[in-house]
Amino acid sequence: MKFKNKIIISFCIIIFVPILLALVALFGLSHVQLKEIEQNYGVNDGNYSYFSNPMRLLSRFTKEAYEQLSDAAKKRPEQFLDKDYLEEINTTLAEKSSYLIVRRDRELVYIGEDAGVAMLTELPEYGAAESDANSGMYVDGKEQALIKQIDFQYPDGVNGSAFIVTILEETVPEIKSLAADILVSVVLILVLTACMLTMWIYTSLINPIKKLQIAVQNIKDGNLDFTVEAESRDEIGELCRNFEEMRQRLKENIEEKMTGERENKTLISNIAHDLKTPITAVKGYAEGLIDGVADTPEKRDRYIRTIYNKANEMDTLINELTLYAKIDTNRIPYNFTRLNVAEYFNDCVDEIGLDLEEKNIGLSYFNYVDEMVRIIADPEQLRRVIGNIIGNAVKYLDKQHGLINMRIKDVGDFIQVEIEDNGRGIASRDLPYIFDRFYRTDASRNSSTGGSGIGLSIVKKIIEDHGGKIWATSRESIGTVMYFVIRKYQEVPNEQGVDH
């Protein structure tokens, strides 16, 4: 989930979840409290409009006591002289935050507990207030109260009044309890929602950032052997995946650099070793000429020719080193041109045949390709390929009569070149690696089989840059066959427009 969507969801959760949970809490708590209010206040008709008018609710609160006193005033006024009866009524009213006051003429004959002193001086006169079970007189002074007045006459004809006083400061305790419960519920809901969002944001944002901090510290310390796992599909997860990809590429680059350094060291070691042998020979034969050891024209000629051959060997090694540097930086200078296959390979065979003849090695050439077949190739680099393959074959010839066969075949869209020798062959365990840089099947590194170890890797690079492929088959003690293919050149005819 995208982080933008998480922010939108978080906003919706902040707005709607507390409202929804508050409504649920309000419904549940009010259901319980209203049941209690129904019992305490006598609201049995399901009409809760009283709660919007506290005066009506308080009037209803003492309705039963008012009706009881009104009935006594009409039928049994003498009960207002019975203190036990009045105590009983007052006890009932006390449970509803109210109390009873009874007056005979101007004398207060009964005052309920908790009656305020200020209230005693604010009682209305006989016949001054009209009250019923559902209404009363509101007194706003030092003490706020609702007064219901019941006027009557004692048996001896003296005017009397009974007052039901409800203290407004104790307004509907159930409503207060409900409001407190709802307030606590809302606070808890907000805290719970905040905790949920905090945990969600923490797990989706803070934890990945901590992982990235640890990863950055590992890279800073040079440690790349770790993994950054992306546990989500949002922007942070994408950042973790990009960081992991960066780490892998950085590790690959470092490993490649270290491999390159090792290869360079190997190349320098190989070149140094292989240069040492011809240089030693050149020095030895040169000293022989200086000291007059070659005292005949024939010896001098042989010494000079040996020096020349050894110099050629060193030149070949230096050329390989130069070409290797160009391969390593992908800067091989190619000069592609159209070549006639028959003419080009005929010339190559003529040139190579002279060198092999001097070494008493037989060369057989077979061309099965039509004389008109052409390829796109760099003649110099392709000649280097053939020279390296044949030079490598000559190096490992172990038969008294060495033989090399070269075949050119037509294989559809490609021409295939096969160079076969009858040398000692390559072991099956070594065959998959012969085109790797610096891989040598001979560990002894004697003068006869020396070399930089990059000849076949150069061949592979050149063939691949020509869009071709190279491979080999071999049998030990019998010989090796090198194969490579190069695509034919095919002209695409231009479509001529129709003259109108």
**Res 265 pLDDT > 80:** no
Mean pLDDT of 162-184: 71
Going by pLDDT thresholds of 50, 70 and 90, the confidence category of residue 362 is very high
Going by pLDDT thresholds of 50, 70 and 90, the confidence category of residue 406 is very high
Decide: 460 and 471 in contact? Cβ < 8 Å: no
Fold of 59-171: Beta-Lactamase (3.30.450)
- Look at 93-97, 202-206, 211-215, 419-423 and tell me which has the smallest mean pLDDT: 202-206
Rounded CA-CA distance 440/425 in Å is: 13
- Distances from the Cα of 165 to the Cαs of 132, 168, 194, in angstroms? 14, 9, 47
Write down the pLDDT at residue 125.
Answer: 85
- pLDDT tens per residue, range 412-424: 999 999 999 999 9
Give the domain ranges of the chain.
Answer: 3-49+175-205, 59-171, 335-487
Residues sharing a CB contact under 8 Å with residue 93, sequence separation 6 or more, in sequence order = 62, 65, 99, 100, 112, 164
Fold of 335-487: Heat Shock Protein 90 (3.30.565)
- pLDDT tens per residue, range 426-446: 999 989 888 887 666 654 444
Write down the pLDDT at residue 444.
Answer: 43
pTM: predicted TM-score of the whole model, two decimal places: 0.48
Decide: 472 and 428 in contact? Cβ < 8 Å: no
Query: Following DSSP, what letter does each residue of 418-457 receive, concatenated?
Result: EEEE-SS---TTTGGGTTSTT--S-SS--GGG---S-HHH
- pLDDT tens per residue, range 48-98: 555 555 566 666 777 888 888 888 888 888 888 888 888 888 888 887 778
- pLDDT tens per residue, range 326-361: 666 666 778 999 999 999 999 999 989 888 888 889
Mean pLDDT for the chain overall: 80
For residue 163, give the nearest of 129, 198, 211, 114 by alpha carbon.
129
- Look at 137-146, 278-287, 483-492 and tell me which has the smallest mean pLDDT: 137-146
Mean pLDDT of 238-263: 83
Rounded CA-CA distance 303/398 in Å is: 26
What percentage of the chain exceeds 90 in pLDDT?
18
The strand pairing partners of 147, in sequence order, are 137, 165
Write down the pLDDT at residue 497.
Answer: 44
Of the two residues 267 and 280, the one the predictor is more confident about is: 280
